[in-house]
Amino acid sequence: MSNQPASRVANYSFMDPNVMSDPYEFYEVLQQEQPVYLMPETGMYMVTRYDSVRQVLTQPDVFSNDTSLAADKSLQSEHAQKYQSILEEKGWGHVQTLQRTDPPEHSRYRKLLDRVFTASRVKELGPSVDNISDELIDHFVDRGSCEFVSEYAMPFPGIVIAEQLGLDRSKITTFKRWGDAMLSMATRIMSEEEVIATAEIELEAQHFLADIFEDRRANPQPDLISALVHAHGDDMAPLTMHELQNLMHQLITGGFETTQSAISHAIWLLVRQPELQDQLHSDPAKIKKFVEESLRWESPVQGLFRVTKSDVELDGTMIPAGSFVIARYAAANRDADKFECPHQFDLSRKNAGAHLAFGSGPHFCVGAMLARREMTTAVGDLTRRLKNIRLAQPLPDPVHEFSIAFSPIAKMELQFEKR
């Protein structure tokens, strides 16, 4: 008889909604037994150790962001083609920009966005971010209860990014519907009918945005769309309509679900560890640390994709060229080799800021400064104005909606007292 301990990996599957919703035990088993895990259900390689995830993110010559290199191996390649042909026929098919490109092509797009998402611009946005947060809280503070996701966590970052794109705040629900549609193909398996219906929603967004691009071309305003439409110079040709549409797609999908989820998770944490509410209220200087540790502890983006450009060995596993790899940021952020007692939420953790929740390397989140600003405002305002924040109803079981890349919380009914 063999003395080898039985592998625990086979006891879990990411297709199980309970595992997907609370994956941390499985991540730990993978880190110990199969740190580069060939997912039997998808044929993709999931990378879970901190150092290896960083390696994937910082070696674009080996791990490419251009997933079209292995389009035939994507999760629903036939549906993806159908989706693309509907967009091409009635609007603008997806082209590869920014997050879907590698250096040096990536640098051209990135330079453009870095000019817009500067520290001084985020600082300038501060008062408007504060007003949006306060106004949303005004709507429910006297009621003593709210549905937190639809009344705060969704509209707060939604209005911030909508206003940055020069869109009207009253369109927030439509905007959310567009964002959800744009994310669908990357996050869940859909039927053909759903693919067609979802493409139609994205087309609605594309035509709306195309009109705004044309308007800003003629009448520039101090917003992001004007900056992008007029962005050209010695080093770059003006962006085409296809490129503009694709960049909008990334800003809407990148800035919306992620921050909504980050804010929801931060508040859920305050509900589960209520002593933190008073600690942050009496010592707001701790809020920044709280935000970093909460991004480490429950990363809103669990993992994103790369494609290998050559055969590569990682953690003892040979990954063939042309394979899909998932860099699992959320697993890396709970790696015991990097973070002591990784499953413990620890406000005094020294290296919380070393988390990979915003990625690393050339594609490090362009909106990280803005997202951090939104999160500190949210936690600061909510702990300043509300106390004894608690669940009015238990969260669903499992808590998160099924998603391969994210960890969405759909609803959170809260009760509280006004401070």
Residues contributing to the site for ligand HEM (CB under 6 A): 57, 65, 98-99, 110, 161, 250-251, 254-255, 258-259, 262, 300-301, 304, 329, 357-359, 363, 365-367, 370-371
Task: Give the Å distances, CA to CA, from 391 to 280, 411, 414.
Answer: 19, 11, 5
Q: Is 195 helix (H, G, I), strand (E, B) or coil?
A: helix
> Residue number with the shortest CB distance to ligand HEM?
367
Torsion angles phi and psi, residue 325, rounded to 5: -125, 135
Nearest approach, Cβ of residue 77 and ligand HEM (Å)? 20
Give the single-character DSSP code of 66. Answer: -
Cα dihedral 267, 269, 274, 280 sign: negative
Residue 223 CB, shortest distance to ligand HEM, in Å, is 13
Cβ atoms of 418 and 314 closer than 8 Å: no
Q: Rounded distance, CA 416 to CA 386, Å?
A: 6
| Closer residue to ligand HEM in complex, CB, 141/186 | 186
In the complex, the smallest distance separating the C-beta of residue 251 from ligand HEM, rounded to whole angstroms, is 5
Which is closer to ligand HEM, CB of 244 or CB of 366?
Answer: 366
Q: In this structure, what are the phi and psi dihedrals at residue 232, rounded to the nearest 5 degrees? A: -160, 165
Q: Which is nearer to ligand HEM, 210 or 369 (CB)?
A: 369
Q: Which of 99, 61, 158 is nearest to 304 (CA)?
A: 99
Report, in Å, the least distance between residue 115 CB and ligand HEM. 13
Of 195 and 356, which CB lies nearer to ligand HEM in the complex structure? Answer: 356
Smallest gap from residue 329 Cβ to ligand HEM (A): 6
Closer residue to ligand HEM in complex, CB, 199/304 = 304
How many CB atoms are closer than 10 A to CB 257? 26
Shortest Cβ 129–ligand HEM spacing (Å):
11
CB of 171 to ligand HEM, least distance (A): 17
Looking at beta carbons only, is 249 or 349 nearer to ligand HEM?
A: 249
Please answer whether residues 355 and 103 qualify as being in contact, where contact means their C-beta atoms are separated by less than 8 angstroms.
Answer: no
Q: Which residue lies nearer to ligand HEM by CB, 250 or 403?
A: 250
Supply the minimum distance, in Å, between the C-beta of residue 146 and ligand HEM.
21
Closer residue to ligand HEM in complex, CB, 14/109: 109
Collapsing DSSP to helix, strand or coil, 305 comes out as strand
Strands (E), 85-180: 145-147
d(CA 344, CA 255): 28
- Asked whether the beta carbons of 47 and 35 are under 8 A apart, the reply is yes
Using alpha carbons only, give the angle 208, 210, 211 rounded to the nearest 5 degrees.
70
Go through the chain and tell me how many residues it has: 419
